[in-house]
Amino acid sequence: MAWEQKLMRTVRLRNDQVPGTLASLLAAMAESGASVGGIKLLTETPSSVVRDISIYAEDGAHLERILSVMRANPGTNIIAVRDEVLELHRHGKIAMRSRAPVDSLGALRKVYTPGVAEVCRKIADDPTQARLYTGISQTVAIVTDGTAVLGLGDIGPVAGMPVMEGKAMLLDSLVGLSGIPVLVNTKDPDEIVDTIVNIAPSFGAIQLEDVSAPRCFQIEEQLMHRLDIPVMHDDQHGTAVVSTAALRVACNATGMDLDRARVGQVGLGAAGLAIAKMLMRLTANPVYGVDLSEELLQRLEQEGGVRSSLEAIMADSDIVIATTGVAGLIKPGMVRQGQIILALSNPNPEIEPEAAEAAGAAFAADGKSVNNVLGFPGIFRGAMEANASRITQEMLLAAAETIAELTPAGELVPNPLDKAVHRAVARAVAQKAIEQGISRGEYMPYLGD
């Protein structure tokens, strides 16, 4: 689907120090359809006031109309118009930094030559020591071929780099891992797998990102077979974890029994099929699914699901989850009284939550509320701290249950910036890895005692 996020600009303007100038400006902007965000006072003199005003527009043409209205307001002079999003991304959002200062010859000899030779020999004699004496155990490769970037689709790996940098920032800020974007300039699944296998010694885990379905299933499966480090396609499993957690919370809020509910999954791409698989593992009940792809329908059936239709799912399901990318696919007249509906496509859902609830849904939410940032940082941290050889469905379910348990009353999910939540997720994932016997059992400093 087309990317339809609103444009945001920061307008710096000087208003005459005349009563009513700002009020008339805001009224004119409102009439032009502008959405106003923050207003920040910068300087004030007896004759003028300088402010920054954040505005949101539907598109470029709408933005120009808003700016024209602002320029026409008596007593208003626009000084500058800034795109804060582009400014934030200038020269990238991440950089590699040294963890130790190199401020003397002594320090140089320790971190480089000749001191580093001793560390190299130690690892050569026992390769497992690399986990302790290098950053490998704290480093995640974030790999993309750019074929399924956000709602933009196949825009190529280089255009997907801002997303990869964002993921790296989240890994660092939320759980202290180093994420390294890796852009793969091929769409061939075998070439992608071989490339990742060949660079894997540099990393403690592999995070697949924005790889289109059904290729993503094959790529992940082959990597999990060929590597002995955690591999996870975030669009599949991160989304499934947070969606399952949100569904737990929604069921508790409405009094619905998830284990007895009939679940329909609309859209069986990367996220949709993973959600269906997780719910079937959790409840031992089939999920009814619909998709335009025969291959994806067959994959659902192979996992124990049942193919259906949109009409049948909307008519018969207690819970409907939609991940199609088709805005407005679900019409209000299709909603059944008492349903739980998670319409997760971004930026525009299959049905707006307000419209679904007005049509009779007991609970409805969209993808703005259900974000996989709550899942992948803690999942990777836990798997890597446990030195697990892989990420299992049981580890993912442990993450989902933890997120649901930590959701505050009245909320659908916890605050994604709450580091205590990510720490708890990491601990639950690590403990499950230990229980399953796939931990290679070293000290876990991040998780504490």
List strands edge to edge, sheet with 319-322: 306-307, 287-290, 263-266, 319-322, 340-343, 363-366
Q: Rounded distance, CA 267 to CA 289, Å?
A: 7
Q: Is 357 helix (H, G, I), strand (E, B) or coil?
A: helix
Name the active-site residue from 56, 93, 110, 112: 112
Look at the chain and count its residues: 449
Q: Rounded distance, CA 81 to CA 239, Å?
A: 36
CB 10 within 8 A of CB 57: no
Alpha-helical regions (H) of 42-188: 60-72, 84-89, 105-111, 116-125, 130-133, 161-175
Active site residue 112: yes
Q: What are phi and psi of 56, to 5 degrees?
A: -120, 135
Alpha-helical regions (H) of 375-418: 376-385, 393-405
Of the candidates 344, 330, 337, the one whose C-alpha atom is nearest the C-alpha of residue 241 is: 344
Name the active-site residue from 167, 277, 288, 432: 167
Q: Rounded distance, CA 187 to CA 172, Å?
A: 28
What is Dmax (Cα atoms) for the chain?
78
CB 9 within 8 A of CB 81: yes
Which residues have C-beta within 8 Å of that of residue 240, sequence separation ≥ 6? 271, 274, 275, 277, 278, 396, 400
Q: Rounded distance, CA 278 to CA 313, Å?
A: 18
Which residues have C-beta within 8 Å of that of residue 7, sequence separation ≥ 6? 56, 57, 58, 59, 60, 62, 63
The amino acid sitting at 71 is R
Q: Is 35 helix (H, G, I), strand (E, B) or coil?
A: strand
Distance of CA 141 to the CA centre of its chain: 16
* Residues acting as catalytic residues: 112, 167
